[in-house]
Amino acid sequence: MRKTAFLIPAIVALAVIAFSSLFIVDEREKVLVLQFGQIKQVREEPGLGFKIPLIQEVVRYDARILSLDTDTIEVTPSDDRRLVVDAFARYRIRDVVQFRQAVGIGGTRAAEDRLSSILNAQIREVLGSDQVTSNTILSDQRRELAVRIRAQARSSAEGLGLEVVDVRLKQTNLPQQNLEATFARMRAEREREAADEIARGNEAAQRVRAAADRTVVETVSQAEREAEIRRGEADAERNSIFAQAYGGNPEFFRFYRSMAAFERSLNSDTSTVVLTPGSDFVSSMFDAVRADGLLAETEGTLTAEELRELAPQSEISEDLPPEAREQLERSNEEIEQRATPDEETQ
């Protein structure tokens, strides 16, 4: 019974010691076994490891590719145009023993601080070198600049046991105090370009407007000239027709002119004209009447009824429009109605 009481605790103690002497190495880790701060084992392959319990300790480091975002820094390229740049890097622990010797117990945090300082120094050196301007940094050549920064940072990080896999520039901006001035200059340039475009547009519009006005003036002048030519030709042809008509029958032409003048003088319902039969104004009408039998008679020896009987009978032409025929018929009826009371009075 007494032996059993001592055996059980001994077995438990041996089991605890056995389990504490074992450790597992993950495929994503690198492991160091330290004894009083000294490196006794390096395990980079996954599997099961052994250590001395209570004397040795296991320190694990991440073997994967890690990410580091640098602080925003201000650089001055060769054209003295200051820029604010921030970058990021990808790195991993290449030599875990050298890494432990370089950073000590600080581990990954201390390593990232020192790597960030290395990257900032290399960024300033590359971007501030000769023949590197702000336009170069903002152009497609920034990839070449990032490669140069990675190469120089890789050589500097080898002393830390680190391997810099990649370096990229994330943002490249102007300092805050220069943004307003830059935006104002950009606005002024755009306004100047807009004013130039407006001026060129107004000039082109003025040329088009002047050409259109000139075309209008030329077209109107040409039309008026042609109209005057046509009007002159028409007047000449009209005068020629009048001359031919007058030469063919002068008496009828004089009669027509008298009728036209008579019509113009009686253009109102209240017009009154007092004429004698011997007036030149109506002599053509009486000459036509005398040609039918009144040539040997005098006007004073015949009554009105006798004059109507001797005057030639007029008929309304069938070729006249209906409105003109009706107007002539009404005029004849009114003349007969006025003549009837005069005969009754006589």
- Residue 117 has, within 13 A of its CA and on its CB side, a CA count of 6
Chain-wide mean pLDDT for the chain?
Answer: 77
The pLDDT, as a whole number, for residue 193 is: 92
Is the Cβ–Cβ distance between 286 and 262 less than 8 Å? no
The pLDDT, as a whole number, for residue 340 is: 57
Q: What is the pLDDT of residues 238-264, one digit of tens each?
A: 888 777 767 776 776 777 777 777 677
pTM beyond 0.75, yes or no: no
Question: Token pair of 7, please?
Answer: 């055996």
The pLDDT, as a whole number, for residue 315 is: 57
The pLDDT, as a whole number, for residue 35 is: 85
CA-to-CA distance for 211 and 200, rounded, in angstroms?
A: 16
Domain boundaries, the chain: 2-62, 66-173, 302-339
The pLDDT, as a whole number, for residue 295 is: 45
CATH architecture of 66-173: 2-Layer Sandwich (3.30)
User: In which residue ranges of the chain is pLDDT below 50?
Assistant: 291-300, 307, 342-346
Question: Token pair of 106, please?
Answer: 């600080």
Q: What is the pLDDT of residues 63-97, one digit of tens each?
A: 899 999 988 888 888 877 788 888 889 999 988 88
The pLDDT, as a whole number, for residue 294 is: 44
